[in-house]
Structure 1
Amino acid sequence: MEKSSRNRAPLYSAGKAVRNALRRLGSRWRWAARSEPLSRNFGFDRGTPIDRHYIELFLGSHAHRIAGRVLEIGDATYSRRFGVEAVSQQEVLHVHPGNPVATIVGDISDPLTLEDAAFDCIILTQTIHLIYDMKAALLQIRRALKPGGVLLLTAPGITPLDQYEWQTTWYWSLSPIALQRLVDEVFGSGSSQFSNYGNFYAASAFIDGAALEEVNMHKLTGYDPVFPVIVAACATKMPAAVNESARS
């Protein structure tokens, strides 16, 4: 009996180690009073950033609008994922030369960067806050949309700041009312649908740098207006006749 117990001891220790490892892998994020966050890179170094969950929820809810000639910033990831075969012509804009997938290079707020009435859909995720004159950028985007075309826009609410590529151009974080006022001033009141995402759990985990794979997904549901992580708008460029009748 004593020999049998000794023989089982290494197996028990090994099994305990495996169980502990699995427990760590499957653990849910819990806030702890640390002096440093889990990640200083939005959780990218741990998995999928939490804000991506909300961005993709928003784009998924408007996937039917991602069609025709589509412009996306940086790459075409979301156009391919949500537009699928409805995208007839894909364009990618990047502010700096050297991006191998970019078909347009330039500042989106520069009138010379985009053609007039060229796009059916523009996907502008997590970009507008990197432009100091946000209204100027939105005016150029509206000009570049075809009548009836849509802008799918997301912006950070409660968020850490970037300390890498965009450190010197991260100007803004937007509240829901700020985004609504900004978009309404450019596209006209009543031409846009607004969506906001986040709650205390999501905001706390996101600031801490926890990844999506580490959190309780169920706790990400439910919106608390005090803790918006992502603010979003689907803005439609109304035809000129509609705009004129709205003013009269």
Structure 2
Amino acid sequence: MASILPSIPQQMKEVFVRIERKFLSTIDLGRLDSLHPISTSFGNDRGQPIDRYYIEDFLSQHKNDIYGRVLEIGDNTYTRNFGGNKVEQSDILHVKGTPSATIVADITRADNIPSNTFDCIILTQTLQFIYDLPSAISHLHRILKPGGVLLATMPGISQISRYDMDRWGEFWRFTTQSAQQLFEKEFTEKNVQVRAYGNVLIATALLHGLAVEELKPEYFRYQDPDYQVLITVRAVKSQAGN
């Protein structure tokens, strides 16, 4: 019926739509028929979180960028897992009082970190907690060596992290367009590659806190640009250093 609608008058279209709606079957939502998610722990309590599947796929694709001196935010799990023996020095940026931190800094005011320091920066699921994004990206660009690579991920469709929101705030969700414009101001358009992962089924599963193990592998292979669950950015600092 939908295929013939463009060729008929508007009033007749409305009649057809009303008739079609009357015959729509009821959808059984099963356990999703609830005002509360199945899990509020992003899937950590059920298996591998869905966004981590995409993050690790992205980092695996760009593992050759992870070498030399590498900075990672929070811990150095991905530096070790994907950089391996290509990494000569691994640094961890975190807040004061974190024993594993080799660098204590606010990335929006990171003047204590020298310019042109890192070959690679791994920044996963962090930018949503930073209000002053332009300053953060400016410092990230500054502390990369010429030719250095920033590998960043950020949420599109996602629940709020209550733990983080209550402690330092959670401010943003992203699209491929917003990520492109944010990063190209510092890195230039030609040096920024942006990609989105996800589809409506993956978005629904993630919002309910399901884990990777509960979904079929083929669900992850289809990417729908209208349901952007995870945004990835590979940004390269030019050899000229600008």
Global fold match (TM > 0.5): yes
Q: Which residue of 1 aligns with 2:227?
A: 227
Deviation at 1:164, TM superposition (A): 1.1
Q: Which residue of 2 aligns with 1:192?
A: 192
Is this contact kept in 2: 1:104–1:113, CA < 8 A? no
Amino acid at match of 2:156: G
TM-score for both structures, normalised by structure 1: 0.82
Q: Distance in 2 between matches of 1:132 and 1:220?
A: 31
TM-score for both structures, normalised by structure 2: 0.84
Give deviations 1:98-144, integer Å, cap 9, x for gaps.
22211011111113242110000000000111110111100000000
Q: Distance in 1 between matches of 2:188 and 2:32?
A: 45
Give deviations 1:12-62, integer Å, cap 9, x for gaps.
xxxxxxxxxxxxxxxxxx762112101112111222210000011110100
Q: Which residue of 2 aligns with 1:6?
A: none
Q: Distance in 1 between matches of 2:237 and 2:157?
A: 28
Q: Distance in 2 between matches of 1:34 and 1:63?
A: 40
- Map 1:20-39 to 2 at 5 A: 32-39=32-39
3-state SS of 1:224 partner: coil
Q: Distance in 2 between matches of 1:238 and 1:31?
A: 50
Q: Which residue of 2 aligns with 1:126?
A: 125
Q: Distance in 1 between matches of 2:124 and 2:157?
A: 15
Is this contact kept in 1: 2:51–2:230, CA < 8 A? yes
Is this contact kept in 2: 1:72–1:123, CA < 8 A? yes
Is this contact kept in 2: 1:31–1:204, CA < 8 A? no
Q: Distance in 2 between matches of 1:39 and 1:198?
A: 19
Deviation at 1:192, TM superposition (A): 1.5
Amino acid at match of 2:111: L
Larger Rg: 1
- Map 1:37-116 to 2 at 5 A: 37-94=37-94, 96-116=95-115
Q: Which moved more, 1:57-66 or 1:191-200?
A: 191-200
> Which structure 2 residue ranges, 5 or more long, are not aligned?
1-29
Q: Distance in 1 between matches of 2:55 and 2:99?
A: 24
Amino acid at match of 2:183: V
Q: Distance in 1 between matches of 2:34 and 2:163?
A: 23
Is this contact kept in 1: 2:129–2:164, CA < 8 A? no
Amino acid at match of 1:157: G
Q: Distance in 2 between matches of 1:114 and 1:196?
A: 31
- Map 1:207-222 to 2 at 5 A: 207-222=207-222
Deviation at 1:240, TM superposition (A): 2.1
3-state SS of 1:123 partner: strand
Is this contact kept in 2: 1:58–1:195, CA < 8 A? no
Moved over 3 A (4+): 165-168
3-state SS of 2:149 partner: strand
Give deviations 1:186-230, integer Å, cap 9, x for gaps.
111101222210011110100011011212221111110111111
Q: Tell me the matched-pair count.
A: 213
Is this contact kept in 1: 2:76–2:92, CA < 8 A? yes
Aligned Cα root-mean-square deviation (Å) = 1.6
Amino acid at match of 2:100: V
Is this contact kept in 2: 1:31–1:205, CA < 8 A? no
Deviation at 1:68, TM superposition (A): 0.3
Amino acid at match of 1:140: H
Q: Which residue of 2 aligns with 1:12?
A: none
Amino acid at match of 1:85: N
